[in-house]
Amino acid sequence: MTNLELLKEAEKARLKAYTPYSHFQVGAVLETRDGKLYYGANIENASYGATNCAERTAFFKAINEGEREFSRIAIAGGPEGSRPDSTCAPCGICRQVMREFCQPEEFMIILSDGKNGVIEKSLEELLPLSFGPENLK
Using CB under 6 A, which residues numbered 79 to 108 contact ligand THU?
Answer: 88, 90-91, 94
Q: Which residues pair with 105 in a beta bridge?
A: none
Instruction: Decide whether 53 or 104 has the Cβ nearer to ligand THU.
Output: 53
Evaluate whether 70 touches 20 at the Cβ level (below 8 Å): no
Q: Which residue among 3, 8, 16, 24 contacts ligand THU (CB under 6 A)?
A: 24
Evaluate whether 76 touches 15 at the Cβ level (below 8 Å): no
Pairing of strands 70-79, 24-32: antiparallel
Q: Which residue among 6, 29, 54, 102 contacts ligand THU (CB under 6 A)?
A: 54
Tell me which of 9, 11, 44, 55 is the catalytic residue.
55
CA atoms within 13 A on the CB side of 66: 0
Active site residue 55: yes
Q: Which residue among 10, 30, 53, 62 contacts ligand THU (CB under 6 A)?
A: 53
Tell me which residue of 137, 99, 108, 86 sits closest to 33, measured CA to CA.
108
- Where do contacts with ligand THU occur on this chain (CB under 6 A)? 19, 22, 24, 26, 42, 44, 51, 53-55, 75, 77, 88, 90-91, 94
Could you list the active site residues?
A: 55
